[in-house]
Amino acid sequence: MRSMRTMARTLFIYALLASLQVWGGPTWADSKRGVEDANRCDGEPCDAVLRGLIAFFDRNLHGLDGNGRSCNDCHMITEQFRLTPAAVEARFQKLQKRRHYNRHADDPLFRPIDADDFRINGENASDYSNLRQNGLIRVVFALPPNIRLIDPETNAPSDEQTVDLWRMVPGVTDVKLSGADGVNPWPRGPNASGGYQLDGRFLTLQEQALAALTSHAQITAAPPQRLLDDLSSLQRVLFTNERVRALSLAIDAGITPLPTADPRLNTLEQQGRKVFERACAQCHGGPGQSTPQPPVVRMHEIFTQCPRRVDVVTPARFNFAPCPPRLARNARTYEITLANGTTTRRTSSDPGRALLTGFVGGPPPLDDWNKLDIPGMRGLRHTAPYFHNNSANTLEELVDHYVEFYKFVKANAAPGVVPPVASTDGVNFDRQPQPEERTALLAYLRKL
C-alpha cells in the first residue's frame, strides 16, 4: 500500500517536473554516448536522480527523525524552488482554516526554529512575522572570536555566541553552473572561488544538503552519504529551461563556442543585452552568470543590507530606497576588534562573509563586511522578490537599486581612482545604466 502511494507520488512529481521542463529525463545526447552511459540523465546516474527526487519531497526521511520538513517545504516547486512571502502567507492562512476543524492540522514550514520569538519562547514560539511578511528563514552563525553583538538594551557587548540572520530561500535550478568555478579567487576562503549559499560557504551540494537537513529539518541521526549524493544528483539536473540545460551539456562535452542560453531577442531586448553586458556582467559573468570577471574582484557588497547607506552630503549624491520597518528591524550592531587591536562598531542586517572570517577593516574593496557571493540569474521574471533579504519587490525596483549603487561607487571613489566595477576603461564611470536604457534592460532581464 505504502509503496503504491510512493510510486503514484513519484509518477506525479515526475510528470510535474517534466511539464515544468526542469528535467527532461534521459536525453538523446545521453543515449548516443553508448551503452555504459545509457543509465545516465544529463550526466548523473538516473537512479540517483530519481531517488533524489523522491527524497526532495519526503517529509519523513527514513530513520532521520527530523521535524517533518522536506526540501520542497521551502524550495517550493510551485514557486520556482523558492519561497515567496505570498506563498508563505497563503499557507499560513490555509493552516489556520484547517485548524478550525482539525486542531492537529500541520504545515511543517511553521516550525518554532523559524519563528521570530524562538530565542524567547523556544518550542512555544509562534510569531512568524519574518516568514510571513518577508519570506525569510533564520540562519544561525557562530560569531568569530573578534566579533561581538551589541545588546540593544544596554548598548554594551553581549555574551551571545551566535547570531540569527534572516535570509531568502534561493532556487535550486542551475546550481550545476553557479557553484565554485575555480577562477578569480578572493584573497580569503572559505571557497575563495565561490560556492553555495548566499555567502558561498559550502563547496559541494552534498555539504549543502547535510547542513539543510541538520539546521532546517532538525534531523537527529546522521544521514547516509547516498542520500546526500542523490539530492546532489537531482539538483545537478534541474535547470531553469531547456536552453540552460543545453548550455550545461555543451560545457560538459567541451564544445566551443558555447551556445547562448538566451532565447530569440527582439531589437529592444538585444539593446538590453548590451546594457547588461556593460552594467551587470562584470559581476554576473560566465555561463552561470555568477562569475565576476577580473579585474573586478570576487565578492561584493551591493548595499542591499539594512539599514541602507545615506549620503552625508547635501544634495545627496545617491539615494537608496530605505528599508521598510519589517526588514529594518533585522539589523544588529556588532563590535569588531580589528587587526591593530582597536575596536569599531558596525550595523547590518547581514554582515555576509565577515561572519565566516572575522575579517573587517582591510583595504577596500577587500574587506569581508557585508560581502556576498554572486548569484546566478536565469528565470528572473519568475523569481520576485529579489536579493538576499527579498528587499526588491520587482525588477524595476532592482534596476533602481543598481542605478543608486553606481552613484554610490562614484561618490565614494578615492580622488583619481575609477574602479573597474564602475568603469569599462578605467577612465570613465560608464557602466551605470542610463535612464534611456532602463526599458531595454528590463526587457532583456525578463527574457533571462
The SS3 assignment for 137 reads strand
**Does residue 139 belong to the site contacting ligand HEC (CB under 6 A)?**
yes
Contact 352, 199 (CB under 8 A): yes
The SS3 assignment for 352 reads strand
CB of 186 to ligand HEC, least distance (A): 12
**Does residue 227 belong to the site contacting ligand HEC (CB under 6 A)?**
no
Closest CA relative to residue 175, chosen from 207, 199, 197, 201: 197
**152-159 — which CB contacts under 8 Å span 24+ positions?**
152/332, 152/333, 157/335
Number of chain residues interacting with ligand HEC (CB under 6 A): 47
Residues in region 315-334 near ligand HEC by CB under 6 A? none
Whole-angstrom Cα Rg for the chain: 23
x/- map, 35-74, ligand HEC, by CB under 6 A: ----------------------------------x-x-xx
Residue 199 and residue 305: Cα distance in Å, rounded?
13
CB of 125 to ligand HEC, least distance (A): 14
Residue 339, exposed/middle/buried by CB under 10 A (0-12, 13-18, 19+)? exposed
* C-alpha cell, 283: 559581476
**Does residue 228 belong to the site contacting ligand HEC (CB under 6 A)?**
no
**Does residue 386 belong to the site contacting ligand HEC (CB under 6 A)?**
yes
Name the residue nearer to ligand HEC (CB basis): 30 or 386.
386
Name the residue nearer to ligand HEC (CB basis): 30 or 168.
168
Among 48, 323, 433, 443, binds ligand HEC (CB under 6 A): 433
Among 22, 180, 283, 327, binds ligand HEC (CB under 6 A): 283
C-beta atoms surrounding 164 within 10 Å = 18
Name the residue nearer to ligand HEC (CB basis): 43 or 200.
200
C-beta atoms surrounding 163 within 10 Å = 18
CB of 365 to ligand HEC, least distance (A): 9
CB of 8 to ligand HEC, least distance (A): 22
C-beta atoms surrounding 283 within 10 Å = 20
DSSP 260-321: P------HHHHHHHHHHHHHTTTTSBTTTT-BPPTTS-S-B--S-SSSPPB-SSSS-S-BPP
Among 169, 237, 306, 355, binds ligand HEC (CB under 6 A): 169
Q: Specify the amino acid at residue 7.
A: M
Name the residue nearer to ligand HEC (CB basis): 40 or 75.
75
Please provide the size of the chain in residues: 448
Residues in region 235-254 near ligand HEC by CB under 6 A? 235
Helix (H) or strand (E) holding 5: helix 2-19
**Does residue 302 belong to the site contacting ligand HEC (CB under 6 A)?**
yes
Name the residue nearer to ligand HEC (CB basis): 147 or 175.
175
Sequence-distant (6+) residues with CB within 8 A of 259 are 243, 246, 247, 250
CB of 33 to ligand HEC, least distance (A): 27
CB of 343 to ligand HEC, least distance (A): 27
x/- map, 173-212, ligand HEC, by CB under 6 A: --x--x-----------------xxx------x--xx--x
CB of 354 to ligand HEC, least distance (A): 14
Rule CB under 6 A: which residues touch ligand HEC?
Answer: 69, 71, 73-75, 137, 139, 167, 169-170, 172, 175, 178, 196-198, 205, 208-209, 212-213, 216-217, 231, 235, 279-280, 282-284, 300, 302, 304, 372, 374-375, 377, 380, 383, 386-388, 398, 402, 421, 433, 445
